[in-house]
Amino acid sequence: MLDRLWNGWRSQYVRGESDDSAGPQLASNDGLSSSVFTRILQSDLSDEESHIVFRGNTVFAILNAFPYASGHVLVLPYREIADLEDLTEDESSELWATVTDAVRAIKASHRPHAMNVGINLGVSAGGSISQHLHVHVVPRWEGDANFMTSVAETRTLPEPLPETARRIRLAWPHRTPQ
């Protein structure tokens, strides 16, 4: 059985509701089933409120709201597409350059021992938001607590998202968007 650490403030966020402590209102205004990433981009939220750590011309980087580890960043195109092969040449080039910048920033800000970089393409591959392609950049440490998920079915996170975003923004390589 999976144990849970109670994060009551997250329930309103997951439902797309908002108050000052629960996080942003992300309900779709267009009545369509757009991804949470598209709804964040269409909202009036600042980058600080939404935990966006970088904006380029065709892609952006945002903290994972449900991270595997502190510093878990997602890099994705602004355009909501599901398949890697549907990226334009410009999107593909900027996506991979931004993934590299995310790795550099996380290495500088959090000093991990290793990194996981990957994409889940499709629901069956583990893609929980499969309609909007995104690359995971996850810092890892020797002796990290990720064993807790498999042994105790609990995840531990030592740092709040706003602090993680601040640290990564400060460490982000200064590259002019293409």
> Residues 6 or more apart from 98 whose CB is under 8 A from it?
54, 56, 59, 60, 61, 75
DSSP 138: E
Helix (H) or strand (E) holding 106: helix 89-110
| Longest Cα–Cα distance in the chain | 48
Whether the predicted pLDDT of 98 surpasses 80: yes
Token code pair at residue 147: 């064993």
* Homologous superfamily of domain range 35-171: HIT-like (3.30.428.10)
pTM, 2 dp: 0.76
pLDDT tens digits for 118-167? 999 888 887 778 899 999 999 998 876 555 555 555 656 778 899 999 99
Instruction: Note the pLDDT of residue 136.
Output: 96
**Annotated active-site positions, please?**
134
Lowest mean pLDDT among 41-50, 97-106, 145-154: 145-154
Backbone phi, then psi, for 117, in 5-degree steps? Answer: -130, 125
Instruction: Spell out the domain ranges in the chain.
Output: 35-171
Instruction: Note the pLDDT of residue 126.
Output: 78
- What is the residue type of 88? T
pLDDT band for position 68 (cuts 50, 70, 90): confident
| Strand spans (E) along 5-158 | 52-55, 59-63, 73-77, 114-118, 135-140
